[in-house]
Amino acid sequence: MLDLRGKRVVVTGGGGFLGSFVVDRLRERGCENVMVPRKREFDLTTTDGVEKMFAAFRPEVIFHLAAVVGGIGANKDNPGSFFYQNAIMGIHLIEAARVHGVEKIIVAGSICSYPKFTPVPFKEEDLWNGYPEETNAPYGVAKKSLLVMCQAYRQQYGTNAIFLMPVNLYGPRDNFDLESSHVIPALIRKAVEARDRGVNELVCWGDGSPTREFLYVEDAAEGLITGAESYNGEDPVNLGSGFEVSIKDLTGIITRLSRFHGSLIWDTSRPNGQPRRMLDTTRAAASFGFRAKMSLEDGLARTIAWYEKNPVSVAAHT
């Protein structure tokens, strides 16, 4: 088991949604040397920025969580930049980890890498059995290329690089900017704002039929850290809750918890995205004992409560 407490740990993306909870959990565990490179000082899409970060922090363990992400609309509008930035950051970091002899690098993948029609529940061995759903394929393929790099570097250089794939995340500190947010924060913001304005209708994308699995952000942080401590395998590992819910049912839960009592209008001119998503989480349980703890309803209630206490201007840029 890797004892992280005495290590110099870098968390890329540590000022973001998932990363901030990973930093919190690491410090709760007694890690005193947790460092977060900020983009304004260290541009990780460049070799100079990565080398500058290594010189400043001399990391022994790296959690690579930095990513350029967004919902269906953002992915459709920015496929090139989503591919390039996500691929190049990981490529530079994994190579630098090899060169500098980093003890371990934990790379966060994405379930967007799975084929569009993967049998449910998604098993890790199905990752290469088709092309990802079109609206987020460039992002998903960029992330999947980093898995190949982790495995290749392990094989050739002995680099201890592990690849963990969290399912769709949600929770406090999420991105509530409607231009780039994912489904849960977008629905929460729309429902709360409609309620407060006295609006009687709420427009939702698609027809509500797709299903998704969601993982509470604090559970995801725990999964990443537990994997860092206890997993040293080459195979990718799903991190999820093992629970599937339709977008229509999810919307009903959010509107009920948000106390919005108007009508829901489904805009079927908008894309649905991938038809179904739910992970097989047995490998995480078997390999390092990870199981999600937060129920969807309790997690949504906590997320709504957090959002109601934070202005949109703050929530959108956390």
Residues annotated catalytic, as ranges: 139
Instruction: Determine how β-strand 168-170 pairs with β-strand 104-108.
Output: unpaired
Of the candidates 244, 256, 260, which has an alpha carbon nearest to the alpha carbon of residue 296?
A: 244
Q: Which among 318, 300, 25, 23 is positioned nearest to 174, based on CA atoms? A: 318
Burial of 87 (0-12, 13-18, 19+ CB in 10 A): buried
Instruction: Output the furthest CA–CA distance in the chain (Å, rounded).
Output: 61
SS (H, E, C) 157-186: HCCCEEEEEECEEECCCCCCCCCCCCHHHH
Two tokens, residue 124: 């890790």
